[in-house]
Amino acid sequence: MNVAATSRTSHISHPREDASNDLRQRLAGAEPLSLRTYTPSQTIIERSAGSYHWTPEGRKLADFTSGVLVANLGHNPTRWWRRVFDYLGLNSLDAEQEFAEAVPLTSYNAATPIEILACERLLANMRREPGGGRMEQVLWSASGSEAIQKALWACLELDSRRDIIIATRGGFHGKKGLAGATTGCETDKDRDPRVRFVGFPKEECADVELRRQPISLETYELELERISKSVGDRICCLITEPYLGGGGSFHPQPEYLQLLQDFCRKHNAVFILDEIQANFGRTGPMYAYTRYGVEPDIVCLGKGLGNGVPVSAAVGRADVFAAMHYGQASDTWSANPLASAAVLATLDEFENYDVIARGKQLSAILEQGLVRLKQTGLIRNVRGEGCVWGIECDRAGSYAPEEVANACVEACYLGNAQGLAIHLLGPLSGKVIRISPPLVMPVSEAQLYLDAMYEILCSLRLRLR
Ligand SMILES: Cc1ncc(COP(=O)(O)O)c(C=O)c1O
């Protein structure tokens, strides 16, 4: 057992937060700490609306996380909730009746019309975008890892002699099953021998300015060639992310993804793009594949797909999914009607309102405000696109970048003298702070909180000597 981590987490408390501190204490007793990723704030959120959370003490926090890139439309959008209830047939509940006649909340071994509508609407939406030409069927699931697992299962079923999966080194596809097997790199313990890794151009896109330069692909071509020589006829698929999310927020030059796709086409391997955190406007366009100039065989969706209702999907070539038979990808929650209603309501918002345009405006403000943070002396690199950015912390005095990153998260949570406070995720790969507010955060408010963040980091710099 990791005693240090146990005591560190269970003793988190903050000044003047009696109610939150009490809840943190009860949480530590009631749930194993493994359920949460470590964050020095351990925020307790009582209510949320739009781009804000409120603690039990009534303290307001600007949300720079969208959950974990989930609430792209903000928290609890009223019109969206109404649509969810509409799709479920629950908008006029009669308290006198014991049961409402409405869409059921189960669909195991049965299908609801809204599930079919959700498939058709999602496919039409994806096909409409450049690069969506191979989007033919939807394989639903509940979490991101499950969507990845199902996509990989299908590829492995295509031909029993082709059992090799290629993944990008340092990527993150989830923790469970094959999603975990394709996460990380070959030196991690207990690797699945079927997974081979190819490098990702981290250094070439370590900062937003560097990413604007073209890159040499030679290193990656050579590596792919080596894999091809040793197991070329056994490769069934390659999985990658449009950008390394959990791996530290690295957004590659498009030619890198195009190289991976070309390799797949040459080897008749399925090209899987994991858009679980990139989808639904996060990187700017509705789907990241449109901007990277690729046409994936399968795209995995999650997070923003249901704006908070647990739902994910592998979407793509029907002939690949046809490799699995009845039951091989079924489970209790996949294609759940609540999930279908949430997907439909989310599509309604993106298709009928200016969510993408608002995200674009916000993106420019974010880039400017985050690049300015370099002047605080605590931030070394800033990288991102759309409304997903990573700020990589630097060493400060005797403090390592990882300690600086945790101190930044905590300082933002505690806020400035005017009470402006920001909710952030715990750092990614040790020292990178993820900035990913809802796409609909008003730009003036984003500016206000970016200025507050600058001020908070300047004060922190003075303390970290
Ligand atoms: C790119 C990517 N793929 C897969 C996953 C796994 O999703 P989940 O946590 O829903 O299983 C994540 C989660 O952060 C992710 O960012």
Distance 236 CA to ligand 1 centre (A): 22
- Give the start-to-end residue ranges of the domains of the chain: 3-77+355-463, 113-335
* pLDDT tens across the length of the chain (465 residues): 333 344 444 579 999 999 999 999 999 999 999 999 999 999 999 999 999 999 999 999 999 999 999 999 999 999 999 999 999 999 989 999 999 999 999 999 999 999 999 999 999 999 999 999 999 999 999 999 999 999 999 999 999 999 999 999 999 999 999 999 999 999 999 999 999 999 999 999 999 999 999 999 999 999 999 999 999 999 999 999 999 999 999 999 999 999 999 999 999 999 999 999 999 999 999 999 999 999 999 999 999 999 999 999 999 999 999 999 999 999 999 999 999 999 999 999 999 999 999 999 999 999 999 999 999 999 999 999 999 999 999 999 999 999 999 999 999 999 999 999 999 999 999 999 999 999 999 999 999 999 999 999 999 999 998
Q: How far is the CA of 192 from the centre of ligand 1 (A)?
A: 19
Note the pLDDT of residue 69: 98
Q: Which of 65, 251, 272, 276 to mutate to test the pocket of ligand 1 (most atoms within 8 A of CB)?
A: 276
Q: Counting Cβ atoms within 10 Å, is residue 149 exposed (0-12), middle (13-18) or buried (19+)?
A: buried
Q: CB of 167 within 8 A of CB of 238? A: yes
pLDDT at 10: 54
What pLDDT shows up at residue 4? 37
Strand order in the sheet with 388-393: 379-385, 388-393, 432-435
Question: Which tokens in the block code for residue 153?
Answer: 């299962």
Fold for 113-335, please state it: Aspartate Aminotransferase; domain 2 (3.40.640)
Which atom, in ligand 1's list, is nearest to the CA of 302? Answer: 10
Q: Return the half-sphere exposure (C-beta side, CA atoms, 13 A cut-off) of residue 196.
A: 20
Q: List C-alpha distances in Å: 128 to 124, 223, 302, 439.
A: 6, 34, 19, 21
Q: Show Cβ contacts of residue 382 under 8 Å, excluding neighbours closer than 6 positions.
A: 207, 208, 367, 370, 371, 373, 374, 389, 390, 391, 392
Tell whether the torsion through CA atoms of 217, 222, 226 and 231 is positive or negative. Answer: positive
Tokens encoding 38? 């470590």
Q: How far is the CA of 147 from the centre of ligand 1 (A)?
A: 9
- Ligand 1, atom 16: closest residue by C-alpha: 277
pLDDT of residue 465: 81
So what's the pLDDT on residue 408? 98
What's this model's pTM, rounded to 2 decimal places?
A: 0.97
Cα 68 to middle of ligand 1, angstroms: 9
Protein residues with CB under 6 Å of any ligand 1 atom: 68, 143-145, 148, 172-174, 241, 245-246, 274, 276-277, 302
Q: Coil, strand or helix: which one is 402? A: helix
Query: 306 C-alpha to center of ligand 1: Å?
Result: 14
Which atom of ligand 1 is found nearest the CA of 143? 10
The amino acid that residue 314 corresponds to is: A
Distance CA 256, CA 345 (A): 34
Radius of gyration of the chain (CA): 22
Q: Are 164 and 236 a contacting pair, CB within 8 Å?
A: yes
CATH code linked to domain 3-77+355-463: 3.90.1150.10
